[in-house]
Structure 1
């Protein structure tokens, strides 16, 4: 039996004050949230309550390469796009669920001097989609959505799509449709530089780990603890509505480590120099644009836009990466580029 590790809680971290200021400013500029996520000891259930565990287990076994389960690109309009275009006046906008607290992905820069402006890699992609569909890159209504409310917001029709560092996986493609991947990443551990945690390994025994409710990080930890890949004594009960809340808890010494996508973790490490990534990524994941299951024309259109976005060397994927992510992920973008898309879904 492994003896419990003594809690190592760094004191007087310089990042706390800066982050507190950033959070206050974010609240000042905040969008009206479409839903309020719950913060507790277990993640909220999102969808599919009527589906049995056996049916879901069978579906997961049959699911392979979820990032390829999308429709072929098309520039044609259909009923979903027609409905978006039929909106009149100030309502003629693309309604998109985003994050406003993920540094360099979807966030409000408190030093930008422009009230209400969202910035980041995901935001660039949203503007590109709006420009293609509505002819105006600024014809967007942004809605800030907690991690565990992304799928419910799509299913309830509160948003046309979600562009929010959302991993394509087998569980989610049962509930929403995804575009082809637009970014490659993997789960990683974030902890204080002074921490004895070394990565996704035995050093997490008896440690408190924070994840966002409804995230792939939590489901991965839950599965790995059952199989023994993660020490059974690791405490994964701390979940929060938004990933940034995990960083704050880490800064306050309330948890020992955070597990999230490496692309997000790198941005959080850039926000606070007292924390760092520990060990290599231990999964491979892909971000996609999520939409309603029956919005076939919109899925095809977004896939067409992504082809152009990836191929545009002047103002597309590469330019956006250089602007927002090169400082945290490195100048060489090769590791973050998704593979050539495959469109295996036929209906």
Structure 2
């Protein structure tokens, strides 16, 4: 019996959501997958030269303070990027379609269409409602973007923005612009409950660790391996285009552990009762909405949406999607008070 067929057989006790997540991961492609018909022409409308010095100090920033690099909020809708989006009539957003409780299709949904849902999807809808207005069913187009294609999708004009559990970092600020943070998390280890792995420590010796290509998790492991902060015998060679693919590798026994954002890992542990978070988070990271680097007016407009969303919307979305996996108290997940450039 093939590994895939063995895995399929092992999913019988999972329920629809778990099976959905693994099926999505096994069939993931390296290309952008349109979730709704959306022409790519003109999707990213940031004007050239609008703010060449916007992140001029990105080379000097430190990741701990990268979240402070965004521009102040504004309700002005006369900028080139925002005006073009409004004229088009819909926002094009890069999202995930297989991250349980963040961006996914629930096969157990009573809806015939099994629309995308989750914490990131709620935020994307709120941004579209505020910027475009009109019918919520028509003012947004989603495109599924693999983890390693988030930045290229923005730079190539295939999406206006990415709302996909994307950590703000100095390295990424060289390629894209970010909103102020909308969520706080940290890197954490996911492993089988029966594993001897205790967390991000010496128990990872001789263990095979999976991360997503281009993720901050891989960057941290690579840096720690170089500096000696990660046990030298840990094998970090396994990388995948989509983060959920790591869970599949773990279930197939091809790796011993996964390192990813704790918020994502908690949702994956909820999908599979045989795995669990090991140890405490060993970093502090912030999710932001990523946009084209020179789309200054769009960044400011999104930051205004977030100003309002933090007071009206964020808590309701957290309670609905994330409280079951992260706990009813959202204090550790709330974004910091914005500190704009």
What interval of TM-score do these two structures reach, taking the shorter chain for normalisation?
A: 0.7 to 0.9
Specify the alignment match of 1:117 in structure 2. 115
- Output one character per residue of 1:121-152: Cα deviation in whole Å (capped at 9) or x when no partner: 00000000010011133311100000010000
- Verify: 1:292 aligned to 2:289, yes or no: no
Aligned counterparts of 1:244 and 1:232: Cα–Cα separation in 2: 26
Q: Which 5+ residue runs of structure 2 have no aligned equivalent?
A: 1-5, 35-56
1:318 aligned to 310, 315, 318, which one? 315
Do the aligned residues in 2 keep the contact of 1:124 with 1:320 (CA within 8 Å)?
yes
Specify the alignment match of 1:222 in structure 2. 222
- Verify: 1:340 aligned to 2:340, yes or no: no
* Distance change >3 Å, CA 27–CA 148, structure 1 → 2: closer
Deviation at 1:232, TM superposition (A): 1.1
Specify the alignment match of 1:82 in structure 2. 83
What secondary structure sits across from 1:171 in the alignment? Answer: helix
Aligned counterparts of 1:269 and 1:163: Cα–Cα separation in 2: 22
Aligned counterparts of 1:59 and 1:93: Cα–Cα separation in 2: 31
Do the aligned residues in 2 keep the contact of 1:213 with 1:239 (CA within 8 Å)?
yes
Do the aligned residues in 2 keep the contact of 1:14 with 1:274 (CA within 8 Å)?
no
Deviation at 1:115, TM superposition (A): 2.3
Aligned counterparts of 2:156 and 2:189: Cα–Cα separation in 1: 33
Deviation at 1:28, TM superposition (A): 12
Aligned counterparts of 2:201 and 2:99: Cα–Cα separation in 1: 26
Do the aligned residues in 2 keep the contact of 1:35 with 1:149 (CA within 8 Å)?
no
Aligned counterparts of 2:119 and 2:221: Cα–Cα separation in 1: 27
Aligned counterparts of 1:111 and 1:132: Cα–Cα separation in 2: 30
Aligned counterparts of 2:28 and 2:238: Cα–Cα separation in 1: 25
* Distance change >3 Å, CA 277–CA 263, structure 1 → 2: same
Aligned counterparts of 2:161 and 2:212: Cα–Cα separation in 1: 20
Aligned counterparts of 1:291 and 1:339: Cα–Cα separation in 2: 20
Bigger CA drift: 234-243 or 284-293?
234-243
Aligned counterparts of 2:256 and 2:340: Cα–Cα separation in 1: 41
Q: Which 5+ residue runs of structure 1 have no aligned equivalent?
A: 1-10, 37-57
Do the aligned residues in 2 keep the contact of 1:97 with 1:144 (CA within 8 Å)?
yes
Aligned counterparts of 1:104 and 1:82: Cα–Cα separation in 2: 32
Deviation at 1:177, TM superposition (A): 0.3
Specify the alignment match of 1:272 in structure 2. 272
Matches within 5 A, 1:1-347: 16-17=11-12, 18=14, 21-23=19-21, 26=24, 33-34=31-32, 60-63=59-62, 65-77=65-77, 78-87=79-88, 92-113=89-110, 114-136=112-134, 137-138=136-137, 139-312=139-312, 316-344=313-341
What secondary structure sits across from 1:85 in the alignment? Answer: helix
Superposition misfits of 4+ residues, deviation over 2 angstroms: 11-21, 23-33, 58-64, 113-116
Deviation at 1:35, TM superposition (A): 6.7
Do the aligned residues in 1 keep the contact of 2:188 with 2:281 (CA within 8 Å)?
yes
State the number of aligned residues. Answer: 306
Aligned counterparts of 1:256 and 1:24: Cα–Cα separation in 2: 17
TM-score, normalization: structure 2?
A: 0.84
Do the aligned residues in 1 keep the contact of 2:33 with 2:143 (CA within 8 Å)?
no
* Distance change >3 Å, CA 93–CA 13, structure 1 → 2: closer
Deviation at 1:13, TM superposition (A): 10
